[in-house]
Chains A and B, each alone.
Chain A
Amino acid sequence: MNDVAHKITGAGQPDGIVACWSCNGPIAADALFCNTCWAVQPPRPMDHFARLGLDIRFAIDTAELDRRYFARQRQLHPDRFATRTPRERAISQNQAVCLNEAYEALKDPLSRATYLLKLRGIDTNPDGCNTIKDPTLLMEQMELREGLAAADTREAATQMLREAEAHVNQSLAHIGGAFAAGDLDTAGRETTRLKYLVKLVDEARTRRACFAPAAAAPAQS
């Protein structure tokens, strides 16, 4: 955690000016290309938000995220490097990998919340054997899963799916509010809940797929 937290000290942008590997000219540390010789620059350590030129926050504009990601990906497209040196081709690929990683981490709200908490020093998804005992959260999830297991028609499963999706939306609103208020404890607890709810939505879709669509059901049932 210290490692990650350290990286985002300050504005979350890599500091200052570095030398271009190709012409030694000065360039901004987050530049994709040297503005003197136009050589592609290797990816430097920075958080995923900085990688995409975004402020560190939960409530991001996803259209803006897409726009920035695709603009950068276009600049790094392999076709543009077909006639360049092997070193430049390798660097552009490394850049593309880092960009993809940043985009994947930020695009989905659950992984964005998890990543943001990690940047703030809270690991909600530690490796290995992490179990929780929060009775309120677990009781709620147990009841929702029992309700889903008891849904024995397509309509009932659809109803559970809608309920699960409503819970997800409500949870996202809570997480957004908690981050905006700087309440990391609540953001952490709610992110754990969201993890369960996302799983519930998956399970509800699977459950619904077990039943034939309404049109195929006997008319009198």
Chain B
Amino acid sequence: MAYSEKVIDHYEHPRNVGALDKNDPGVGTGLVGAPACGDVMKLQIRVSPEGIIEDAKFKTFGCGSAIASSSLITEWVKGKSLDEAETIKNTQIAQHLALPPVKIHCSVLAEDAIKAAILDYRSKRSPAKAAE
């Protein structure tokens, strides 16, 4: 199966690889996995007091599509509000990277990871509200 140029670009030059301090109250961490291929993805966001995502980092162990999906989504969410970031759909990622059908789950992983990071951040800010 051939990867698209965009996947290869993100795979060879991944953006925003790294980690943020998960104990920082301004940082949300999302940890998700796709057991079918043994992928594990960690995505972190640093949120300003105004609710804007200032920084995003990821660490992904998985195939090229999983790495490209997480790299792309960290680029997309920077500068967005939490509400905006939450509306990103896996189909947008899959479309942008031209993922083949068998790799769609990699984009789902990235969508789930950003949602988990937002949820983690919100539960740190107000545990009761996030649990609703």
Contacts and interface: CB of A to CB of B under 8 A. Distances in A.
A135 B109 contact: no
Contacts of A133: 31-33, 112, 116
Interface of B: 31-38, 40, 42, 59, 61, 90, 104-105, 108-109, 112, 116
Contacts of A198: 38
A27 to B, nearest CB: 40
Given A129-B108, A132-B33, A196-B40, 16 more contacts: A128-B105, A129-B104, A130-B34, A130-B105, A131-B33, A135-B31, A138-B31, A138-B33, A139-B31, A141-B33, A141-B40, A141-B61, A142-B40, A142-B59, A149-B61, A196-B33
Nearest to B31: A138
Contacts of A167: none
Contact of A130 (B35, B59, B90, B116): B35
Counting chain A CB atoms within 10 Å of each CB, the highest count among B31, B35, B36, B112 belongs to B35
Nearest to A192: B35
For the side of the interface on A, what is the size category? 20 to 34
A191 B50 CA distance: 43
A107 interface: no
Contact of A137 (B33, B34, B36, B108): B33
A125 B34 CA distance: 10
B32 A131 contact: yes
Contacts of B32: 131-133, 138
A199 interface: yes
Interface string A165-198: 0000000000000000000000000001001101
